[in-house]
Structure 1
């Protein structure tokens, strides 16, 4: 009986330990919906081994487009796809919302309010806003390619503004949204140009990398993400032969998903419970 109790105790300890250490399988974002004040302004791109190409805006196509990862990006969902067209309304946005690790995550395109401040009419260089923060990050990252004087930077900023550069960087192409089961880290792929020099008004002979900007809301926090480092996606957009060639990965410190027991652990605990139940019956019968 003493040996039996030791075995049962050890089994229970192992079972409880397993429950405490087995993480939930959070995986990728699920239940994705498209919304925002310009909810219909998005494109869905599928892919093969060589190209990305536009497909119908269906929930199944959206799900497939977001199924990749950093090692193998697939298609993508472009939010606020009309940002480069004449007469673009910079006050509206398109968003992508889903659940990951049991929490809601919303990814969105940017508006003029995001860049320059809510209700602000000034768009000047030197103002305290996202436009200047991002622009200074670009200049600091590629300092040898930009003027060093304040006046020179202002000229570049004004030219970029006039050329609708901020609109051009406001329509992120979301290629995947995944979460690490242990750390909770959420990884978001942004499909863009592997060489974005011309998008910044620089010579195409230069190797300059810059992603589009994505706005996110997660676990009560709203912020902006962008990157100046791309990996080669191995893909090219079929119609222009250049888009989606780079994969820029940005991250959010997500909340680790709650631990759940594996089926084998549950079966083991059920077996232990069965032993105790049988033991109680035997004791009762012997009385």
Structure 2
């Protein structure tokens, strides 16, 4: 009877240990060590949120890290890079960056400069490419390459469109530990028609995120989206900004696996069972 009871204890202990290993939830890594830099390192704003509104809070590294804790299903505050981009005297040759580590690798997210918009990209300039994509994804693809499309583009540029879409509001930077995919939230207007120089229609919102330039794992490129979900938030002072969440992504490098505390305890428990089992065998012989 004694040996039978001991076997039951061992079996239960192993089951608990294996269960601790088998029930590990999928983890999502977040940006760590967040800092602001670039050639215009002071040109940023931090917005916190209360679940209804976003509102400006003092610029500090602590607040920058704090507001980057959202996700697609729960966008929170955000960090606006190149916050003065639409103000008089803005220096469009400088940038503001958000830097940190994700999955153990460095990542830099940056505002855009004038040279980014005029650089060669996909057989044209980045500015023309992005605007054509904006028209196409919002149902105006037939105007791309026509005099109408060129007129819309010229009007967009003349009215400060480049500057308006160069100051991304980064709300989160997360990584799926299973796939390596890095997801970045960009807070913007759920209906961005007026920002594109088009007539707003509440029943058919036109959508376009601001652009963020990234450098990660030796690659530098641009990220943007033309599909938003409602964030459930609006900026306190204007009641419009940050109403849409645009998620963009990077195919990231799989992070190095680090066992959860529960896994370590489970493994220790299983190891302890085997040690106990050996002692019982010696005692019975």
Q: TM-score range by the shorter chain?
A: 0.7 to 0.9
Structure 1 residues 49 and 158: alpha-carbon distance in aligned structure 2, compared to 1, 3 A threshold? same
Match for residue 113 of structure 1? 115
1:189 aligns with 2:191: no
CA distance in 1, matches of 2:166, 2:92: 9
* Alpha carbons 2:166, 2:212 under 8 Å: kept: yes
1:80 aligns with 2:82: yes
Consecutive unaligned residues in structure 1, runs of 5 or more: 121-125
CA distance in 2, matches of 1:27, 1:45: 22
* Alpha carbons 2:144, 2:150 under 8 Å: kept: no
CA distance in 2, matches of 1:223, 1:145: 24
Instruction: Write out per-residue CA displacement over residues 210-254 of structure 1, whole angstroms, 9 at most, x where no aligned residue.
Output: 000001111111111101111111111111111111111111111
Structure 1 residues 58 and 154: alpha-carbon distance in aligned structure 2, compared to 1, 3 A threshold? same
CA distance in 2, matches of 1:220, 1:22: 32
Question: Which residue of 167, 170, 178 maps to 1:174?
Answer: 170
1:29 aligns with 2:43: no
CA distance in 2, matches of 1:282, 1:215: 63
Deviates more, 1:254-263 or 1:52-61: 254-263
* Alpha carbons 1:24, 1:260 under 8 Å: kept: no
Match for residue 4 of structure 2? none
* Alpha carbons 1:179, 1:187 under 8 Å: kept: yes
Shift of 1:179: 1.2
TM-score between the two structures when normalised by the length of structure 1: 0.82
* Alpha carbons 1:43, 1:79 under 8 Å: kept: yes
CA distance in 2, matches of 1:66, 1:224: 20
Between the two proteins, the alignment pairs up a number of residues equal to 275
CA distance in 2, matches of 1:271, 1:148: 65
* Alpha carbons 1:66, 1:76 under 8 Å: kept: yes
Match for residue 236 of structure 1? 234
Shift of 1:262: 3.4
1:96 aligns with 2:94: no
Alignment of 1:156-175 (within 5 A): 156-175=152-171
Question: Which residue of 44, 66, 69 maps to 1:67?
Answer: 69
Match for residue 217 of structure 2? 219
Alignment of 1:244-263 (within 5 A): 244-263=242-261
Deviates more, 1:264-273 or 1:133-142: 264-273
* Alpha carbons 2:138, 2:207 under 8 Å: kept: no
Structure 1 residues 166 and 259: alpha-carbon distance in aligned structure 2, compared to 1, 3 A threshold? same
Consecutive unaligned residues in structure 2, runs of 5 or more: 1-6
Structure 1 residues 272 and 106: alpha-carbon distance in aligned structure 2, compared to 1, 3 A threshold? same
Question: Which residue of 148, 151, 167 maps to 2:147?
Answer: 151
RMSD between superposed Cα atoms in Å: 3.3
Structure 1 residues 194 and 265: alpha-carbon distance in aligned structure 2, compared to 1, 3 A threshold? closer
Instruction: Write out per-residue CA displacement over residues 33-74 of structure 1, whole angstroms, 9 at most, x where no aligned residue.
Output: 000000000000111122111110012211221111111111
Shift of 1:267: 3.9
Shift of 1:282: 11
Shift of 1:207: 1.8
CA distance in 1, matches of 2:252, 2:145: 40
Match for residue 123 of structure 1? none
Deviates more, 1:71-80 or 1:198-207: 198-207
